[in-house]
């Protein structure tokens, strides 16, 4: 990779595994000092042990849906690496349930993590980014934030909200030198995909192989995305040369999502 992000402090939420871990590795490979935020301290420690030999990295534990937890974690992150110049909001949860079986607790949990968590983390960094006249915010949304789907009403609503927030912040902070974009992965080879496959198999009687084929068929390329492919898209939005790209929802799904 390059040293193009040397001197920049990047913070990645939900960074302990899956897409978040790939993003942390990729940004560190481009020279950024990286703070990896997550809820599972053991997972974070494993990733830090992997990366510390070749990168400046640290871990902070926080629940992005909790305002106090976010404040404490971001203050700890800044104490070592300084103001956050790059924020990647990747933390999220996905839960599927028929709408008539949705309860308020599940609805709130999904929106609090995916949407309110993104709001709280953005709020923690935009003052310093604006003052520095440079910043990059990348929100990991989903193709579910662009098209609806059965059984994912809470998740889809949250990710649509993330894209709306992205576009509003991009407009508001454009003159401050801060770009705000969303990356929208399709089904990606992560633990979350494994959970989705298991859920489909359990509720429909299909085999895991049949469930995976059904999900892969939603992409024009008939395959799943890799976490590294998502990470490369995120990194491009942070690297020099992307200054004029803001307010975009970039699909990483092997082709435009097709209705199921």
Residue ranges of the domains in the chain?
A: 9-186+226-250, 188-224
pLDDT of residue 260: 45
Q: Is 225 helix (H, G, I), strand (E, B) or coil?
A: strand
Instruction: Look up the CATH architecture of domain 9-186+226-250.
Output: 3-Layer(aba) Sandwich (3.40)
Residue 193 is predicted with a pLDDT of 67
Strand order in the sheet with 249-252: 57-61, 33-38, 9-13, 86-89, 135-140, 178-185, 249-252
Alpha-carbon torsion (202, 208, 214, 216), positive or negative: positive
Tokens of 104: 């308020």
Q: What is the pLDDT of residue 110?
A: 97
pLDDT for residue 201: 67
Residue at token pair 């407009």: 171
Per residue of the chain (260 residues), what is the pLDDT tens digit? 789 999 999 999 999 999 999 999 999 999 999 999 999 999 999 999 999 999 999 999 999 999 999 999 999 999 999 999 999 999 999 888 889 999 999 999 999 999 999 999 999 999 999 999 999 999 999 999 999 888 889 999 999 999 999 999 999 999 999 999 999 998 767 777 667 767 666 767 778 777 777 766 776 666 788 999 999 999 999 999 999 999 999 999 888 655 44
Residues involved in catalysis? 155
pLDDT value, residue 258: 55
């Amino acid at each position: 990779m390059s040293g193009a992000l040397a001197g920049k402090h990047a913070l990645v939420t939900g960074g302990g595994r899956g897409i978040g871990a790939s993003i942390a590795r990729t940004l560190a490979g481009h020279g950024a000092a990286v703070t990896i935020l997550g809820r599972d301290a053991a997972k974070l420690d494993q990733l830090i042990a992997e990366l510390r030999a070749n990168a400046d990295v640290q871990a902070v534990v926080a629940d992005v849906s909790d305002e106090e937890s976010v404040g404490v974690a971001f203050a700890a992150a800044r104490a070592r690496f300084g103001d956050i110049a790059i924020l990647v909001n990747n933390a999220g949860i996905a839960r599927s349930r028929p709408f008539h079986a949705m309860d308020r607790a599940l609805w709130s949990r999904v929106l609090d993590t995916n949407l309110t968590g993104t709001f709280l983390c953005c709020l923690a960094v935009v003052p310093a980014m604006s003052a520095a006249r440079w910043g990059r915010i990348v929100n990991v949304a989903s193709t579910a934030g662009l098209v609806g789907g059965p059984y994912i009403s809470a998740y889809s609503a949250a990710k649509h909200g993330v894209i709306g927030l992205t576009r509003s912040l991009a407009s508001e902070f454009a003159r401050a030198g801060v770009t705000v974009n969303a990356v929208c992965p399709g089904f990606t080879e992560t633990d979350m995909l494994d959970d989705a496959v298991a859920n489909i198999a359990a509720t429909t009687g299909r085999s895991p192989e049949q469930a995976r084929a059904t999900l892969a068929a939603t992409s024009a390329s008939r395959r799943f995305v890799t976490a590294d492919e998502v990470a490369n898209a995120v990194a491009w939005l942070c690297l020099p040369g992307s200054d004029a790209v803001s307010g975009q929802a970039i699909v990483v799904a092997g082709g435009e999502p097709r209705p199921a």
